[in-house]
Amino acid sequence: MRAVVQRVSSAVVSVGGTEVGSIGPGLCVLVGVARHDDDQDAARLADRLWHLRVFPDDEGRMNRSAAELERELLVVSQFTLYADTQRGRRPSFVDAAPGEKAAPLVDAVVHQLRAMGATVATGRFGAHMELSLTNDGPVTLILDT
């Protein structure tokens, strides 16, 4: 699995002009699922997200996690994270898992986060979504399982 993680002041995801998920300060996470990913990858990604130390401590160093600060997460599925752009001008998505495999694994990440105590908002799998966020820092990281 692959995630683009942004520390945000706020984030909102909408479908068809209707807000379906929003958070205040926390992490906005775009999640891509590869063909070979499984439930262990989902559990590992959730654990890494919840305990990732990207929030400042009292000295301003990135030393605190969403878990420690009880920050919210917005998880949005993003199959384009597995785009292959090495040849031609049109991306290939052959490495991305098909929807019937990817949807349950994105749901598993959300379920694992909630089981650890996280407040999690989500987008809508397979929908055309509009994401608006205010990146805090800016801090943007890429995680791979």
In order, the DSSP letters of the chain are: -EEEEEEEEEEEEEETTEEEEEESSEEEEEEE-BTT--HHHHHHHHHHHHH-EEEE-TTSSEEEEHHHHT-EEEEEE-GGGG-B-SSSSS-B-TTBPPHHHHHHHHHHHHHHHHHTT--EEE--TTS-EEEEEEEEEEEEEEEE-
**pLDDT at residue number 16:** 96
pLDDT more than 90, % of the chain: 99
2-144: CATH topology is D-tyrosyl-trna(Tyr) Deacylase; Chain: A; (3.50.80)
Task: Please identify every stretch of the chain with a pLDDT value under 70, giving residue numbers as ranges.
Answer: none
pLDDT of residue 104: 98
The question of whether 55 is a catalytic residue gets the answer no
* Per-residue model confidence (pLDDT) at position 127: 96
Domain ranges of the chain: 2-144
Active site residue 18: no
- Catalytic residue, chosen from 78, 119, 122, 140, is 78
pTM over 0.85: yes
pLDDT value of residue 94: 95
> Which residue among 79, 85, 86, 119 is the active-site one?
79
- Catalytic residue among 40, 80, 134, 140, which? 80
Q: Check residue 100 and give its pLDDT.
A: 97
Mark whether 119 is an active-site residue.
Answer: no
- The dihedrals phi and psi of 119, each to the nearest 5 degrees, come to -90, 120
